[in-house]
Amino acid sequence: MDIGFLGMGTMGRPMARNLARAGYDVTVWNRSPGKAASVVDYGASEAPDLSDVLQKSVVFSSLADDRAFADSVLSTSSLQAAESGSVHVNLATVSPGMSAEAESRLAERGIFYVAAPVFGRAEVAEAGELTVLVAGDSRAIDEVAPLLDVIGRRTWRVGDDPKQANVVKILGNYLIATAIQSMAEATTVAEKVGGSPELLMKIMNDSLFPGGVYEGYGAMIAQRRYEPAGFRLPLGLKDVRLALSQANDVNMGLPFGSVLENVFLDALAHGQADQDWSAITEATRRRAGLDVRRP
């Protein structure tokens, strides 16, 4: 099976590497050249032109947001280059509206669209242990299922409508963001009263909150370790806003979501765009009058 892969970012590289390592014929492309070397080392080919990748029978994309996806996949030239009968698997967190548009426009070219956003940071992707949320045409999902098994530890089929997978992913990221903010607040209070933020999180992880989110982000927050960024802060704001938009579409408010949006904006206003989204902790520290870590 010939595979195309668009996007050699923090998550795209390890996923493409694992597919190449598994013996698949993988051709990769990135908007900015020079990021695919570690994938090529495992037998993948780097295409100089986007159209070379879009002609494959299965195309994966791992692009930053709606605009990056639309520019790369839904432009007139890209749609003309794509192969009728192929399957496009979008691994990124895009809006449900973009997912619906992609399904419609690709279907006009005879292309199946599958939404398959993932849970897990870069180190989880490297280990092939991502959680994959997939939705779309069941036959198309069956075709790409062995490939999803390479990049993830488990694939959850959440529906026939691709946007259903995006809604689940957005809500999951919203829950992570609320956990990050609650840990930021708790560790800040602990420090203000002379306690140890790291000890607080060790106790919580050992008793009340075991698991990847509280253990991983809890340690980063307690140690104020925000670089290298596994998930950049602007992407966190994007996902909070997607959650707010989705709730608004069903006439529901997310009161804490609005608080989160303001915290993210505070962090961005203080130059933290290149840090991990757990760096919103510094916004809480600023309000508490504690010293802050400059980007």
Same domain membership, residue 129 and residue 52? yes
Residue 119 domain boundaries: 2-161
Residue 294 domain-assigned? no
Residue 178 domain-assigned? yes
Same domain membership, residue 232 and residue 143? no
**Which residue ranges of the chain lie beneath pLDDT 50?**
none
pLDDT tens digit string along 35-76?
899 999 999 999 999 999 999 999 999 999 999 999 999 999
Residue 160's Cβ-count burial label (10 Å; 0-12, 13-18, 19+) is: exposed
pLDDT of residue 282: 97
CATH number of residue 193's parent domain: 1.10.1040.10
pTM of the model: 0.94
Distance CA 77, CA 71 (A): 10
Distance CA 130, CA 133 (A): 10
Residue that terminates a domain, selected from 129, 161, 193:
161
Residue 137 domain-assigned? yes
Distance CA 237, CA 65 (A): 12
Give percent above pLDDT 70 in the chain.
Answer: 99
pLDDT tens digit string along 246-263?
999 999 999 999 999 999
Residue that terminates a domain, selected from 135, 161, 187:
161
Same domain membership, residue 191 and residue 140? no
Same domain membership, residue 189 and residue 117? no
CB 39 within 8 A of CB 16: yes
Same domain membership, residue 157 and residue 29? yes
Residue 127 domain-assigned? yes
pLDDT of residue 295: 63
Distance CA 69, CA 22 (A): 26
pLDDT of residue 34: 82
- How many domains, in total, are found in the chain? 2
Give the pair of three-digit tokens for residue 276.
Answer: 């991990």
